[in-house]
Structure 1
Amino acid sequence: MPPTPLSVLDLAPVSAGSSVGDALRATLDLARHVEDFGYHRYWLAEHHLVRGVASSAPAVLIGQVAAATSTIRVGSGAVQTGHRSALSVVEEFGTLATLYPGRIDLGLGRSGQRRVEAGQAPLVPTPATPARVVDGLLIPPQFSYAKVLASPRFAQISALLYQPGAVPPPFAEQVADVLALIRGDYHDADGLDAHAVPGEGTDLEVWLLGSSGGESARLAGALGLPFAANYHVSPATVLDAVTAYRDAFQPSSTLAEPYVVVAVDVVVAPTDDAARQLAAPYPVWVRSIRTGEGAIPFPRPADVVGLPWSDADQELVADRVDTQFVGAPETVAGLLGTLRDVTGADELLVTTITHDPADRVASYRLLAEQWLG
């Protein structure tokens, strides 16, 4: 039996002391390498107004990655649909699919809708849940994003992304419009048709991404679409997400059976100690996200030694730090095997951030050699 496919989720991270241009060039370099290493797909995330992440325009970056490679699938993980129309998404990704047929994935996420919803509803803290271990996989307590959603930075991002007074349509309607525009059978409420050029008739592979057992997981299942679950962003709810997806799954022209990819943070080095050294800045980086500041440029390992660190800081990042897979190739491969077995993942989506881009390339190489052979 062939090994479970490995894929890459890239944020185009900016390292402390380097430039955004350096980060984007590192992304193209990494894409070329992981294609040679045997990774199946290369996805770009979407983040805005973040000093430490350069993936604010995924469609543009996807085109650059596709041009720099030749066989690996390239896509979005995921397009934030809340501030986009279905037509604009299909036209952008249809252009990519026309230029690079058979290689483009269109991953859609509710994050944009959630941003608007958060601004319209009172913030309710997430109830505390105890940590548990399921067949060797840590499921930590669920993190509450209430303070992040209430931060001034979050409000600023919303103000700059959305046109004044704009209200995104329900996620299910937007996904339906995307699929109809790709198929070529879109009609509006008055029965008038519309045709996306480029986009209609392309072989775009549409995915839904989700962090919980909520609407995204259920909708992906009901539509018979592949689904990506986030162990790296919301490890507490990954099992809820994959269970909800499978429970809702209905066979479609796209899939006869459910197909799940699970994303996870990984750092690999020749030894466990060396990997822990490379991952040492990760808690500081996550803290910057969780405080509402937004991801800072990824620090040098030496620069985090001796930084003030309180019990509150530890609690703020514990779920992310405790579920990052860090170690030698055999150590991380064992952890990935557990994640695959417990979640039933058909594919694993690995995201790795180190200060030195060369260490990131090496991490993906060592993992591929161990996992893919």
Structure 2
Amino acid sequence: MLKQLRDIPISVLDLAPVVEGGTAADSLHNSLDLARHAEAWGYNRYWLAEHHNMTGIASSATSVVIGHIAAGTSKIRVGSGGIMLSNHAPLVIAEQFGTLESLFPGRIDLGLGRAPGSDQAASRALRRGLGSDGSEFPEQLSELRAYFDPEGTEARPQGVRAVPGEGLNVPIWLLGSSGFSAKLAGQLGLPFAFASHFAPEYLLPALDLYRSSFKPSATLDKPYVMVGLGITAADTVAQARWLATSQQQQFLNIIRGRTGKLQPPVDSMDGLWSAQEQAILLDKSHYSIAGDKSAMKERLQQMNEETQADEWIIASQIYDHNARLRSYEIVAEAINC
């Protein structure tokens, strides 16, 4: 049976944007402020993403920022969306998230991605000879899960234990933008989150693959899907579309192979993108929404029917912090009204 919008939990995906004219310190201060507001508005989770060598993202030390957010809030779940496991030894992640769970019991999520979340130079600097290109993800995942499981001795090096970590219940999610993690999450009976805000063309096939591959586990008895959405909400449609040009400029830089700080909105993207780039960006925006409360409700209802998502996680790349707060507030109002 299709859920009503008000019955679907909503969460925050914070890319901790560093805006033009701002600093990483400003970004981290704003993240905590947003998390406190999101908690008051009834959001379920607050996730942060691991990216490296990007001047416009302040959450590279993701576990540290998760601790910062969890310490400044009281009940909202806090986690990673995600930790890029190919960059790390599984033992280190087990210890970090075991520590977070020990400090903030019952509030920590561990979302895992397979991609590096960085360019090739940063990947080499991070891995220092680990030799992983993402192909070892299933084995790394098995080792990581074994550190939390007191009985999981076969999948981890003999005599090595994660302290803190062992015996703690840290929910593990698989994140993806293609079919690989969807199928693996289904086979392992783990919850799955899909990044439709930048890979919309794969969303429905990945959800079908996850659900058809799903095997009940000690974690879940049925599939659980969280769908990522790019949302820019404002009190008027015109204002929302204007604010959304910051995200469009960011995507434009990505397809050009550039990085940089989040730019202020512009009155028109004409002259900034070519016709081909505009077509690419519009195609990538199929599951992104820019509009007022009414538009939010209408489009979310459509997406609810298309995806039958169990939860939404919302990324809002908005230059002005107060406008970003208002965007998340409007989404909560649209869902609950």
Instruction: Tell me the TM-score range normalised by the shorter chain.
Output: over 0.9
**Any gaps of 5 or more consecutive residues in structure 2?**
none
Q: In the alignment, what sits opposite 2:172? A: 206
In structure 2, the CA distance between the partners of 1:231 and 1:47, relative to structure 1 (3 Å rule), is same
Q: Structure 1 vs Structure 2: percent identity of aligned residues? A: 41
**1:170 partner letter:** E
- Asked if the contact 1:282/1:321 (under 8 Å) is kept, the reply is no
Q: Secondary structure at the match of 1:281?
A: helix
Q: How far is the alpha carbon of 1:189 from its aligned partner? A: 7.3
Q: How far is the alpha carbon of 1:188 from its aligned partner? A: 4.9
Q: How far is the alpha carbon of 1:244 from its aligned partner? A: 0.9
Q: Post-superposition, which runs of at least 4 consecutive aligned residues in structure 1 deviate over 3 A?
A: 188-191, 302-308
Q: How far is the alpha carbon of 1:92 from its aligned partner? A: 0.4
Q: Secondary structure at the match of 2:111?
A: strand
Instruction: After TM superposition, list the pairs within 5 Å mapping 1:136-147 onto structure 2.
Output: none
How many Å separate the matches in 2 of 1:225 and 1:38?
A: 24
Q: In the alignment, what sits opposite 2:223? A: 258
Residue of 301, 305, 317 corresponding to 2:265: 301
Q: In the alignment, what sits opposite 1:85? A: 89
Q: How far is the alpha carbon of 1:323 from its aligned partner? A: 3.5
Q: Secondary structure at the match of 1:77?
A: strand
Instruction: After TM superposition, list the pairs within 5 Å mapping 1:43-122 onto structure 2.
Output: 43-112=47-116
Structure 2 residue 322 is matched with structure 1 residue 358: yes
How many Å separate the matches in 2 of 1:245 and 1:304?
A: 39
Residue of 273, 281, 285 corresponding to 2:250: 285
- Asked if the contact 2:143/2:156 (under 8 Å) is kept, the reply is no
Instruction: After TM superposition, list the pairs within 5 Å mapping 1:98-177 onto structure 2.
Output: 98-112=102-116, 154-164=119-129, 166-167=131-132, 170-177=136-143
Structure 2 residue 221 is matched with structure 1 residue 217: no
Q: Secondary structure at the match of 2:7?
A: coil
Residue of 238, 245, 264 corresponding to 1:273: 238
Q: In the alignment, what sits opposite 1:229? A: 194
- Asked if the contact 2:91/2:147 (under 8 Å) is kept, the reply is yes
How many Å separate the matches in 2 of 1:175 and 1:190?
A: 10
**1:53 partner letter:** I
How many Å separate the matches in 2 of 1:356 and 1:209?
A: 28
How many Å separate the matches in 2 of 1:74 and 1:328?
A: 28
Q: In the alignment, what sits opposite 1:138? A: none
Q: How far is the alpha carbon of 1:166 from its aligned partner? A: 2.5
More displaced stretch, 324-333 vs 186-195: 186-195
In structure 2, the CA distance between the partners of 1:226 and 1:340, relative to structure 1 (3 Å rule), is same
| RMSD (Å) for aligned C-alpha atoms | 1.9
Residue of 152, 171, 183 corresponding to 2:149: 183
**2:315 partner letter:** T
**1:282 partner letter:** Q
How many Å separate the matches in 2 of 1:192 and 1:325?
A: 50
Q: How far is the alpha carbon of 1:203 from its aligned partner? A: 1.8
How many Å separate the matches in 1 of 2:332 and 2:272?
A: 36
**2:21 partner letter:** G
How many Å separate the matches in 1 of 2:124 and 2:328?
A: 37
In structure 2, the CA distance between the partners of 1:228 and 1:165, relative to structure 1 (3 Å rule), is closer
How many Å separate the matches in 2 of 1:366 and 1:280?
A: 19
- Post-superposition CA distance 1:51-71 (Å, at most 9, x none): 111111110000000001000
- Asked if the contact 2:85/2:114 (under 8 Å) is kept, the reply is yes
Q: How far is the alpha carbon of 1:312 from its aligned partner? A: 3.0
How many Å separate the matches in 2 of 1:353 and 1:49?
A: 18
Q: In the alignment, what sits opposite 1:17? A: 21
- Asked if the contact 2:147/2:156 (under 8 Å) is kept, the reply is no
Q: Secondary structure at the match of 2:163?
A: coil
**Any gaps of 5 or more consecutive residues in structure 1?**
116-152
How many Å separate the matches in 1 of 2:199 and 2:122?
A: 21
Q: In the alignment, what sits opposite 1:126? A: none
- Post-superposition CA distance 1:298-345 (Å, at most 9, x none): 111148666432123213423233432010012012212221221110
More displaced stretch, 306-315 vs 33-42: 306-315
- Asked if the contact 1:281/1:304 (under 8 Å) is kept, the reply is no
- Asked if the contact 2:146/2:156 (under 8 Å) is kept, the reply is no
- Asked if the contact 1:186/1:194 (under 8 Å) is kept, the reply is no
Residue of 310, 319, 328 corresponding to 2:283: 319
